Amino acid sequence: MHRRPRKLSPEERELWAQVAASAVALHAPHPAADEATLPQAAASRPHLPPRLPRADLAEFRIGQAVTRAAFGHDPAPGIAERLAQAPLSMDMKAHRKMSRGRLSPEARIDLHGMTLAEAHPELIRFILRAQDSGLRLVLVITGKGRLGADDGPIPMRHGILRHQVPHWLHQVPLSASVLQVAQAHLRHGGTGAYYVYLRRAR
C-alpha cells in the first residue's frame, strides 16, 4: 500500500531554512557568458603576432637609399689608352715624332695569322735580334682581329694577338730590351700594329 510523503511541520521548515541559509558552495559558479563564449573563442582564435604600425609609403621612391656610385661603370681602358698613359721612358721629341708617324721603323715583323704559340717565340727572336743589330725603332704588326658572331652574354675580345703582344713586350725576356711601346700611326698600320722603341745594345 503506497504511503503518502509526510509533510514537514512548521518547525521543520524553519530549521531547514536556517541550514540552507548557512550552507556554502564548494565551487564558485561561473557566469553564463564565460561558460558559453570564452572557451570557444580561445580555442578558435589563432595566436597572431602583434600588429606593427603601418609605414607611411607616400614619399617612398624605389632605389632612394642607393647612391648613384653603385650604378657606375668602370670599364677597363683600351689598349691605345693604356699605352698612352704609360710613363714616358724615351726622348720626348722622338716620341712625338714617332706618334705622328714621322719616324720610319727600321725593321718590321708581321704576326698576323699566327697562333699565340707561334707568335710568341717569333716576337722574342725578332726583338732580341733587332737590339743586337743596334736598331732603335721597329714595327710589330698584329692585325686588328676578325669580327665574328658574338651572341653570348659576355662580349668576346677580338684580336688576341693585338691584346697579347703589349703584355709580351713588358715581360721577361723582352722587358729588358724594350724602352717604349705605342700604337702605330695610321700610315704604319694604326690599331693593327705597334711601335717598339728599343734600348741601346750594351
Per the CB < 8 A criterion, the answer to whether 196 and 106 are in contact is no
Parallel, antiparallel, or unpaired for β 193-198 and 178-183?
antiparallel
Mean pLDDT of 138-142: 97
Strands (E), 3-118: 107-110
What is the average pLDDT score of the chain?
80
- In whole angstroms, give the CA distance from residue 81 to residue 24: 104
Q: Give 164's pLDDT tier (boundaries 50, 70, 90).
A: very high
DSSP 131-168: HHTT--EEEEE----------SSSPPPP-HHHHHHHHH
Whole-structure pTM value: 0.58
Q: Quick check: 8 pLDDT over 90?
A: no
Q: Given this model, what pLDDT does residue 56 score? A: 65
Locate all alpha helices (DSSP H) within the chain, ordered by sequence. Answer: 10-22, 32-44, 79-85, 92-99, 116-132, 160-169
From the CB of residue 180, how many other CB atoms can be counted at a distance below 10 Å?
Answer: 21
Average pLDDT (160-183) is: 95
What is the rounded CA–CA span in Å between residue 183 and residue 78?
A: 11
Q: Look at 123 and 4; give whichever has higher pLDDT.
A: 123
Q: Is the pLDDT of residue 146 over 80?
A: no
Looking at residue 132, its pLDDT comes to 96
Please indicate whether residue 82 or residue 155 has the higher confidence score (pLDDT). Answer: 82
- More confident of the two residues 91 and 157: 91
Would you list the DSSP string of 6-18?
Answer: PPPPHHHHHHHHH
- How many CA atoms within 13 Å lie on the side-chain side of 57? 3
- Give residue 32's pLDDT band: very low, low, confident or very high (50, 70, 90): low
Average pLDDT over residues 171-183: 96
Whole-number pLDDT of residue 71: 47
Terminal C-alpha separation, the chain: 153
Q: Which residue has the higher pLDDT, 62 or 119?
A: 119
- Tens of pLDDT along 40-54? 555 556 667 777 777
CA angle 146, 77, 149 (to 5 degrees): 25
Q: Is the pLDDT of residue 94 over 80?
A: yes
